A and B are shown apart, each in its own frame.
Chain A
Amino acid sequence: MGEQKLYQASANWLKSAVDALCAAGIEVLAPTQSESGKVDLARVTSSEQVIQSYPNTAFPLKRLFLPMSEVLLEYEKGEEGDVELGPKSAPAKELVILGCRPCDAAALEMLDKVFQWDYSDVPYQEKRDRTTVVSLACSEPSPECFCTSVGGSPQGSEQSDVLVFGGANSAALMQINTAKGEKFIERLADTVTPAPEGTKLPEPTELEQKFDPQKVKGWLDENFESNFWVENSLGCLGCGTCSYLCPTCHCFDIVDEASWNRGQRRRNWDCCSFALFTLHASGHNPRPDQAARYRQRLMHKFKVFPERFGRVACVGCGRCLKNCAVGQNLLADLADIESR
């Protein structure tokens, strides 16, 4: 790595950062734990709500930029036949995300590619612009993690304005990557100090590469029709869990919800595992069974996306294989493909 801007802070940096940002009136999302034990990024107003040790959050960052349901347009018809349009956009407030993992930050790259592709998506971009991403490097990857197989790393800094090493039990080292990152450091005032000259980043955490996406793509290129799709999707139920918890899945549906004199147009998450996703009004469905839908999920991530945008649409967070009701194991399936 070339010239790095490095700062150091105490083990307690996360809590001090939350307090400093909240005091400055900035919106903060930080890791918290729910009653049922789930760790997730949530809006916090004090460092007491924040936890410092966790493998990863239950949800990725996606829903902060592509909300599960977002009002794109609303209208109300008045007594006189006049129509009022909304939503009135509130002035964009600065938002800081603290403590996401490098894989989830890297996934923003894929979302950026899609939402700035042939058109810059206004609601998405507005949220991206106002947000600073402060990620936490991983020292203990979970068993389901495979970022190193898809071009990432437990210390990857991609799309992180700041990447923090250590913390929780040891002093923290902060690597500043962008102008937003510098501003973040300024806000922390005297709780951070520049790291002494010659300070080195910790040794990279080892995580064995579990498959080669190039080889997987080679097989996918040749095997649109294959019994593999039927055999390996027999258990799949066709729900939305794997897509909805995936940091890179980005499909949506547009619905109008109206009552007598007012209505909303909303953009809601949607997912290619659902039978309805490709059902035509005629009754024809080009993806008639779960095998075709499962193939779509893998093909889009490991063949179509790299062809269009130069990289796979998976960051190896492992959420899909960990949360699937029937244990559908993406990693095992990719290893199986590679071995063919």
Chain B
Amino acid sequence: MSANGTITQTLREAAAQVLSEEKVGVVIGYGRDDGQEFSTPVFLRKAEEVKRLVFDDLCFGNLAVYLPRPEIRKMGKTGIVVKGCDLRAVNVLLRENVIKREDVLLIGVRCGGVGQPQLPKCSVCELHDPGGCDVVVGEAIEQQEVKAEQRYTEAGKIEAKPAEHRWEFWQKQLSKCIRCYACRQVCPLCYCKRCIIEKSTPQWVQTSPHLRGNLAWNVTRALHLTGRCVGCGECERVCPMDIPLGAINQKMAKVVDERFGFRSGFSAQEEAPFTTFSTEDSEEGIL
């Protein structure tokens, strides 16, 4: 039985209302394309179009990636369908002043989990019920308690290997990278107008897809997302080479959690370690 079976109708009604009352210029949500194995993004401008909206177990995408885009901003205030995990990305965009709260209308869905079988992130989800949205749809979902050790299991599996095996593992994984940058393009928090990878005077990171260049690229991305990544899992989902990027992000999240007691994206007001100076910080290295 689908965890998200009954949301579609109420979601359509909510979207139709904000569109017909002209509260927003566009609603970004999910739709169905019969040729696809997941629900794909749709951009609705008129209340009549809301029949294209769905919410089901295949709504993987984190639509927050579209919020900073000029083509979308041109349409006026943006209505956006967010699951709890997507809301965390919106919170980071707000925290980092990429978007303003008054420019977005958040349509939160109470999400029971996506994927068949359910994605691992959903079994440890702490935001089935997204807080602070303008509209919320779906039945209340009982929030299970999630223990700290459940959060970083993917990273844990790799940490358990001896150092030389880890090095071997990552060399093998990263040499597969084809530098398509789908991981960056799908990431709501990789919003830089010009990524460091694209800066050529000087060329900071080699663009060739050899192990040296790929290591530099993937380590750079991991560092730039440390303390920011919200673990939505989109980068790993879209990587055409099946590189376990989620494990890298989890490892970094774990370090930040342990050192600073900080987990990204639970509020738009949070003080993030990278952008907050504190004399209380331990000085164990660059992290």
Contacts of A271 in B (CB 8 A): 180
Q: Is the CB of A235 within 8 A of B178?
A: no
Q: Is the CB of A68 within 8 A of B178?
A: yes
Asked whether any CB of chain A lies closer than 8 Å to the CB of B218, the reply is: no
Alpha-carbon gap, A206 to B198, bound state (A): 46
Q: For residue A235, give the distance in angstroms from its CB to the closest CB of chain B.
A: 4
Contact of B208 among A230, A239, A268 (CB under 8 A): A268
Alpha-carbon gap, A267 to B40, bound state (A): 34
Asked whether any CB of chain B lies closer than 8 Å to the CB of A266, the reply is: yes
Contact of A255 among B61, B185, B194, B207 (CB under 8 A): B207
Task: Give the B interface residue count (CB, 8 A).
Answer: 34
Q: Is the CB of A230 within 8 A of B71?
A: yes
Contacts of B120 in A (CB 8 A): none
Alpha-carbon gap, A38 to B250, bound state (A): 25
Q: Is the CB of A234 within 8 A of B185?
A: no
Asked whether any CB of chain A lies closer than 8 Å to the CB of B41, the reply is: yes
**B-facing mask of A222-245, CB < 8 A → 1, else 0?**
000000001000110111110011
Q: Is the CB of A326 within 8 A of B41?
A: yes
Contacts of B117 in A (CB 8 A): none
Q: Is the CB of B35 within 8 A of A241?
A: no
**A-facing mask of B72-95, CB < 8 A → 1, else 0?**
100000000000000000000000
Q: For residue B146, give the distance in angstroms from its CB to the closest CB of chain A.
A: 27
> Are A240 and B179 also in contact (CB < 8 A) when A143-B35, A253-B207, A326-B61 are?
yes
Contacts of A68 in B (CB 8 A): 178-179, 209
Contacts of A234 in B (CB 8 A): 41, 43, 66, 71-72
Contacts of A245 in B (CB 8 A): 240
Contacts of B184 in A (CB 8 A): 239
Secondary structure dominating the interface of A: loop
Asked whether any CB of chain B lies closer than 8 Å to the CB of A116, the reply is: no
Asked whether any CB of chain A lies closer than 8 Å to the CB of B186, the reply is: yes
Asked whether any CB of chain B lies closer than 8 Å to the CB of A325, the reply is: yes
Asked whether any CB of chain A lies closer than 8 Å to the CB of B170, the reply is: no
Q: Is the CB of B71 within 8 A of A241?
A: no
Q: Which of B170-188 contact A (CB under 8 A)?
A: 178-182, 184-186
Contacts of B210 in A (CB 8 A): 69
Contacts of A329 in B (CB 8 A): 33, 35-36
Q: For residue B168, give the distance in angstroms from its CB to the closest CB of chain A.
A: 14
Q: For residue B2, give the distance in angstroms from its CB to the closest CB of chain A.
A: 19
| Chain B minimum-CB-distance residue to A290 | B71
Asked whether any CB of chain A lies closer than 8 Å to the CB of B10, the reply is: no
Asked whether any CB of chain A lies closer than 8 Å to the CB of B238, the reply is: yes
Q: Is the CB of A69 within 8 A of B71?
A: no
Asked whether any CB of chain B lies closer than 8 Å to the CB of A165, the reply is: no
**A-facing mask of B185-200, CB < 8 A → 1, else 0?**
1100000001000100
| Chain B minimum-CB-distance residue to A234 | B43
Q: Is the CB of A332 within 8 A of B181?
A: no
Q: Is the CB of B35 within 8 A of A237?
A: no
Contacts of A38 in B (CB 8 A): 242
Q: Is the CB of B35 within 8 A of A325?
A: no
Q: For residue B66, give the distance in angstroms from its CB to the closest CB of chain A.
A: 8
Asked whether any CB of chain A lies closer than 8 Å to the CB of B38, the reply is: yes
Alpha-carbon gap, A181 to B74, bound state (A): 58
Q: Is the CB of B185 within 8 A of A332?
A: no
Q: For residue A63, give the distance in angstroms from its CB to the closest CB of chain B.
A: 9
Q: For residue A137, give the distance in angstroms from its CB to the closest CB of chain B.
A: 24
Contacts of B185 in A (CB 8 A): 237-239, 325
Contacts of A253 in B (CB 8 A): 207
Asked whether any CB of chain B lies closer than 8 Å to the CB of A269, the reply is: yes
Q: For residue A142, give the distance in angstroms from its CB to the closest CB of chain B.
A: 11
Q: Is the CB of B240 within 8 A of A241?
A: yes
Alpha-carbon gap, A54 to B207, bound state (A): 33
Asked whether any CB of chain B lies closer than 8 Å to the CB of A291, the reply is: yes
Asked whether any CB of chain B lies closer than 8 Å to the CB of A257, the reply is: yes
Contacts of B206 in A (CB 8 A): 255, 257
Contacts of B179 in A (CB 8 A): 68, 240, 268-269
Q: Is the CB of B70 within 8 A of A241?
A: no
| Chain A minimum-CB-distance residue to B35 | A329
13 contacts between A and B (CB under 8 A): A143-B35, A234-B43, A235-B43, A241-B180, A241-B238, A241-B240, A244-B240, A268-B208, A269-B209, A276-B194, A329-B33, A329-B36, A331-B35
Given A238-B185, A241-B182, A268-B207, 20 extra CB contacts under 8 A: A38-B242, A68-B209, A69-B208, A69-B209, A230-B71, A234-B41, A234-B66, A235-B43, A240-B181, A241-B240, A244-B180, A253-B207, A257-B206, A266-B208, A268-B179, A268-B208, A321-B35, A326-B61, A329-B35, A329-B36
Q: Which B residues fall within an 8 A CB radius of A?
A: 33, 35-36, 38, 40-41, 43, 61, 65-66, 70-72, 178-182, 184-186, 194, 198, 203, 206-210, 234, 237-238, 240, 242
Q: Which A residues fall within an 8 A CB radius of B?
A: 34, 36, 38, 58, 68-69, 143-144, 230, 234-235, 237-241, 244-245, 253, 255, 257, 266, 268-269, 271, 274, 276, 289-291, 321, 323, 325-327, 329, 331-332
Closest 7 CB pairs of A and B: A327-B40, A240-B180, A325-B238, A237-B185, A239-B182, A327-B36, A239-B185
